[in-house]
Amino acid sequence: MKTSLRSDLCTALILLPVSFVYAVGFCWCYQPNDIAFGGITGVAQIIQVFLPAAPVGVVTILLNVPLFLLGWRLLGGKLLLSSLYAMAVTSLAIDVVDHLFTFPPMDPMLAAIFGGVILGATLGVVFLRGATTGGTDLIARLLKLALPWLPMGRLVLAVDLVVIAATALAFQNLNSALYGIVALYISSLVVDAVLYGLDTAKVAYIISDRSEDICRSIVDRLDRGITILPGRGFYSGEERKVLLCAFKQREIAVIRAIVKELDPDAFLIVCPAHEVLGEGFRDYQKNDL
């Protein structure tokens, strides 16, 4: 119980500065440059166009209420409490930053690039702490339950496009939507980099006449497990062993050196692995992102 409480307090403390960085990214890059923003915050932008006195943050909180009621039934209380906290802090931080600072417009492309990076990085941290900022982030989390094979960044990208189009119509500026799409795409890449980037892995397929020596060398030098798969050459009809080895990105040079030192004629295929679970990598967790 104490461990859980300590973890919750740690999450709350981490999300506080992250939320203000999120708010700075929005107020610095998006708002003064009329760049369309996705999600419920984008809907709040549309409302502010017609009701200038309506604060974006407060409107965002009000619009999130029905989504949180839906999420409470589907995701459970703990995730929704942390998400409610993250949503409230980020939304109020937008109004606080907007009140305290007036950011001048900048080059729209720079605003789209850096806004996407800032928003993507902060959203990634929020997701890592088991929360969302509400809006389409919450919708993406709900979709993740039905589509667990899709990365969170891509889900956020998909559900935000419609809002961006509507925001551009409100601004009556096609460039707002185009820059918004650029920012959204960059944001989705950064979200996935934060969520999965530290877990980058590769898979090597090795075909060699000295497969046993290669196996021993990889195990001795990298302590990586290897699976030997049966194979057969199509043209020669010869039975061959195919070595399968998962390893970290930083170990690719050692793998390549081992294979080429022991058998310069070996056939080596290295493929990116989106996710590797098991010994030496991450453990499986239920409802993992």
Q: Residue 2: is its pLDDT beyond 60? A: no
Q: Residue 286: is its pLDDT beyond 60? A: no
In a shared domain, residues 25 and 113: yes
- What is the mean pLDDT of the segment spanning 87-92? 88
Residue 32: domain span: 2-198
In a shared domain, residues 73 and 152: yes
Write the single-letter amino acid at 171: F
In a shared domain, residues 83 and 42: yes
Mean pLDDT is highest, among 4-13, 87-96, 279-288, for: 87-96
Least confident of 7-16, 38-47, 142-151, 165-174: 142-151
How distant is the alpha carbon of residue 168 from its chain centre? 25
In 3-state terms the chain splits into helix, strand, coil percentages (rounded to 5) of: 65, 10, 20
In a shared domain, residues 151 and 190: yes
Least confident of 1-15, 83-97, 168-182: 1-15
In a shared domain, residues 36 and 106: yes
239 located within any domain: yes
281 located within any domain: no
DSSP string of 1-16, one letter each residue: -HHHHHHHHHHHHHHH
Least confident of 16-25, 82-91, 258-267: 82-91
In a shared domain, residues 15 and 73: yes
- What is the mean pLDDT of the segment spanning 138-142? 72
145 located within any domain: yes
210 located within any domain: yes
Q: Residue 6: is its pLDDT beyond 90? A: no
Instruction: Pick the last residue of a domain from 136, 167, 198.
Output: 198
- What is the mean pLDDT of the segment spanning 255-273? 90
Mean pLDDT is highest, among 110-119, 200-209, 216-225, 250-259, for: 110-119
269 located within any domain: yes
pLDDT at residue 210, as a whole number: 92
279 located within any domain: no
In a shared domain, residues 119 and 67: yes
Q: Look up the pTM and report it.
A: 0.68
pLDDT digits (tens, 9 = 90+) for 234-255: 888 888 899 999 888 778 888 9
Instruction: Pick the last residue of a domain from 198, 222, 241.
Output: 198
User: Which token pair is 200?
Assistant: 């980058």
- Would you place residue 288 in the very low, low, confident or very high pLDDT band (cuts 50, 70, 90)? low
Q: Residue 142: is its pLDDT beyond 90? A: no
- Mean pLDDT of all residues belonging to the chain: 83
In a shared domain, residues 186 and 204: no
* Count: domains in the chain: 2
Beta bridge partners of 201: 248, 273
Q: Residue 75: is its pLDDT beyond 80? A: no
287 located within any domain: no
Number of H helices, E strands in the chain: 10, 4
- What is the mean pLDDT of the segment spanning 227-238? 87
- Would you place residue 285 in the very low, low, confident or very high pLDDT band (cuts 50, 70, 90)? low
288 located within any domain: no
Instruction: Pick the last residue of a domain from 198, 222, 245.
Output: 198
User: Which region holds residue 232: left if phi is over 0, alpha if psi is between -120 and 50, else beta?
Assistant: beta
Least confident of 15-19, 142-146, 230-234: 142-146
Residue 222 sits in a domain whose CATH number is 3.30.70.120
In a shared domain, residues 179 and 233: no
168-201 burial: b if 16+ Cβ within 10 Å, else e = bebbeeeebbbbbbbbbbbbbbbbbbbbbeeeeb
- What is the mean pLDDT of the segment spanning 250-274? 88
- What is the mean pLDDT of the segment spanning 216-240? 88
In a shared domain, residues 229 and 241: yes
In a shared domain, residues 71 and 176: yes
Residue 274 or residue 257, greater confidence? 257
Q: Residue 168: is its pLDDT beyond 80? A: no
pLDDT digits (tens, 9 = 90+) for 20-35: 999 999 999 998 998 8
pLDDT at residue 162, as a whole number: 77
